[in-house]
A and B are shown apart, each in its own frame.
Chain A
Amino acid sequence: MERLLVSNGLILDPVTQSVRTSSIYIADGKIIAIDYQPDGFQADQTIDASGLIVSAGLVDLCARLREPGLEFKADICSETRAAAASGITTLCCPPDTDPVIDEPAVVELIHRKAAKAASTLVLTLGALTNGLKGQLLSQMSALRAAGCVGISNGRNPVPNTLILRRAYAYAANCGLTVFIEPDDHWLSAGGCAHDGPVATRLGLQGIAVSAETVAISRALELILETGVKAHFGRLSSAHGVELIRRAKERGMDITADVAAHQLFLNEMDIGSFNSMCHVLPPLRSQRDMEALRQGLKEGVIDAVCSDHQPHDPDAKQAPFASTEPGISALETLLPLTLRLVDHQVVPTFSALSLISSRPAEILGINAGVLAVNRPADLCVYAPEQEWQLDPAAMLSRGKNTPFAGWHFSGKVRHTIIGGQVVYRT
Chain B
Amino acid sequence: MIGQDSWNIQLDSNGRLKHFLTIEGLGSQILTEILDTAESFANVNEQRMKKVPLLRGKTIVNLFFEASTRTRTTFELAAKRLSADILNINISTSATSKGESLLDTLQNLQAMLCDMFIVRHCDSGAAHFIAGNVAPHISVINAGDGRHAHPTQAMLDIFTIRRNKGHDFGRLRVAIVGDILHSRVARSQIHALNTLNTGDVRVIAPKTLLPTDIEDMGVTVFNDLQTGIRDADVVIMLRLQKERMQGALLPSEHEYYSLYGLTEERLSAAKADVIVMHPGPINRGVEIESRVADGNRSVILDQVTYGISVRMAVMSMVLGRQPEPNESGAH
B-contacting residues of A (Cβ < 8 Å)? 195-197, 199-206, 208, 271-276, 314, 316-322, 402, 404
- Tell yes or no: B136 within 8 A of A by CB: no
Q: Is the CB of A272 within 8 A of B101?
A: no
Beyond the given pairs A197-B216, A272-B125, A322-B123, 7 more chain A to chain B contacts, judged by CB atoms under 8 angstroms and listed by A's residue number, are: A200-B211, A206-B211, A206-B212, A208-B212, A272-B5, A314-B101, A320-B129
Task: Output the nearest chain B residue to A316 by Cβ-Cβ distance.
Answer: B2
List residues of chain A with CB within 8 A of the CB of B145.
203, 319
List residues of chain A with CB within 8 A of the CB of B7.
271-272
Task: Output the nearest chain B residue to A205 by Cβ-Cβ distance.
Answer: B147
Task: Output the nearest chain A residue to B128 by Cβ-Cβ distance.
Answer: A273
A199 to B214, CA, bound (A): 10
Q: Is the CB of B129 within 8 A of A273?
A: yes
Of the residues A201, A204, A317, A319, contact of B24 by C-beta under 8 Å: A201
A18 to B301, CA, bound (A): 78
CB within 8 Å of A: which of B5-27? 5-7, 9, 24
Q: Is the CB of A404 within 8 A of B3?
A: yes
A231 to B148, CA, bound (A): 38
Of the residues A200, A206, A275, A322, contact of B216 by C-beta under 8 Å: A200
- Tell yes or no: B184 within 8 A of A by CB: yes
Task: Output the nearest chain A residue to B215 by Cβ-Cβ distance.
Answer: A197
CB within 8 Å of A: which of B199-251? 211-214, 216-217
List residues of chain A with CB within 8 A of the CB of B5.
271-272, 274
Q: Is the CB of B124 within 8 A of A204?
A: yes
- Tell yes or no: B146 within 8 A of A by CB: yes
A314 to B9, CA, bound (A): 22
Q: Is the CB of A203 within 8 A of B212?
A: no
17 contacts between A and B (CB under 8 A): A195-B212, A197-B212, A200-B211, A201-B187, A202-B124, A203-B148, A203-B149, A272-B5, A272-B7, A273-B128, A318-B101, A318-B102, A318-B103, A318-B129, A319-B102, A320-B124, A320-B125
A275 to B3, CA, bound (A): 7
Task: Output the nearest chain A residue to B93 by Cβ-Cβ distance.
Answer: A322
Knowing A195-B212, A203-B149, A274-B3, the reply to whether A319 touches B126 (Cβ < 8 A) is: yes
A224 to B91, CA, bound (A): 53
Q: Is the CB of B123 within 8 A of A320?
A: yes
A203 to B6, CA, bound (A): 17
Of the residues B9, B121, B213, B217, contact of A319 by C-beta under 8 Å: B121
9 closest A-B pairs by CB: A203-B147, A203-B148, A319-B123, A273-B125, A203-B124, A197-B216, A200-B211, A319-B126, A197-B213
Chain B interface residue number, banded: 20 to 34
Q: Is the CB of B187 within 8 A of A203?
A: yes
Task: Output the nearest chain B residue to A193 by Cβ-Cβ distance.
Answer: B124
Of the residues A199, A206, A208, A275, contact of B2 by C-beta under 8 Å: A275
Task: Output the nearest chain A residue to B181 by Cβ-Cβ distance.
Answer: A200
A271 to B4, CA, bound (A): 9
List residues of chain B with CB within 8 A of the CB of A206.
211-212
Task: Output the nearest chain A residue to B9 by Cβ-Cβ distance.
Answer: A272
Of the residues A197, A272, A321, contact of B6 by C-beta under 8 Å: A272
Q: Is the CB of A199 within 8 A of B212?
A: yes
Q: In the complex, how many angstroms separate the beta carbon of B79 from the nearest chain A beta carbon?
A: 25
Q: Is the CB of A317 within 8 A of B101?
A: yes
Interface string of B98-133 (1 = CB under 8 A from A): 000111000000000000000001011110110001
A206, A271, A318, A404: most-surrounded residue (chain B CB, <10 A): A318
Q: In the complex, how many angstroms separate the beta carbon of B330 from the nearest chain A beta carbon?
A: 21
CB within 8 Å of A: which of B136-159? 145-149
List residues of chain A with CB within 8 A of the CB of B101.
314, 317-318
List residues of chain B with CB within 8 A of the CB of A200.
211-214, 216-217
Q: In the complex, how many angstroms separate the beta carbon of A401 from the nearest chain B beta carbon?
A: 9
List residues of chain B with CB within 8 A of the CB of A208.
212
Task: Output the nearest chain A residue to B182 by Cβ-Cβ distance.
Answer: A203
Q: In the complex, how many angstroms separate the beta carbon of A312 from the nearest chain B beta carbon?
A: 12
B5, B101, B148, B184: most-surrounded residue (chain A CB, <10 A): B148
A171 to B213, CA, bound (A): 41
A15 to B128, CA, bound (A): 50
List residues of chain A with CB within 8 A of the CB of B129.
273, 318-320
Q: Is the CB of B3 within 8 A of A276?
A: yes
A350 to B101, CA, bound (A): 46
A322 to B6, CA, bound (A): 19
List residues of chain A with CB within 8 A of the CB of B211.
199-200, 206
Q: In the complex, how many angstroms separate the beta carbon of B306 from the nearest chain A beta carbon?
A: 24
Of the residues B123, B128, B213, contact of A321 by C-beta under 8 Å: B123
Task: Output the nearest chain A residue to B212 by Cβ-Cβ distance.
Answer: A195
A402 to B5, CA, bound (A): 12
List residues of chain B with CB within 8 A of the CB of A197.
212-213, 216-217
Q: In the complex, how many angstroms separate the beta carbon of B84 from the nearest chain A beta carbon?
A: 26
List residues of chain B with CB within 8 A of the CB of A271.
5-7
List residues of chain B with CB within 8 A of the CB of A314.
101, 103
Task: Output the nearest chain A residue to B123 by Cβ-Cβ distance.
Answer: A319
List residues of chain A with CB within 8 A of the CB of B126.
319
Q: Is the CB of B125 within 8 A of A319?
A: yes
Knowing A197-B213, A321-B124, A322-B123, the reply to whether A203 touches B146 (Cβ < 8 A) is: yes
Q: Is the CB of A402 within 8 A of B3?
A: yes
List residues of chain A with CB within 8 A of the CB of B124.
202-204, 273, 319-321
A317 to B101, CA, bound (A): 9
Q: Is the CB of B187 within 8 A of A276?
A: no
Q: Is the CB of B216 within 8 A of A201?
A: yes
Knowing A319-B102, A319-B145, the reply to whether A196 touches B123 (Cβ < 8 A) is: no
List residues of chain A with CB within 8 A of the CB of B149.
203
A204 to B129, CA, bound (A): 14
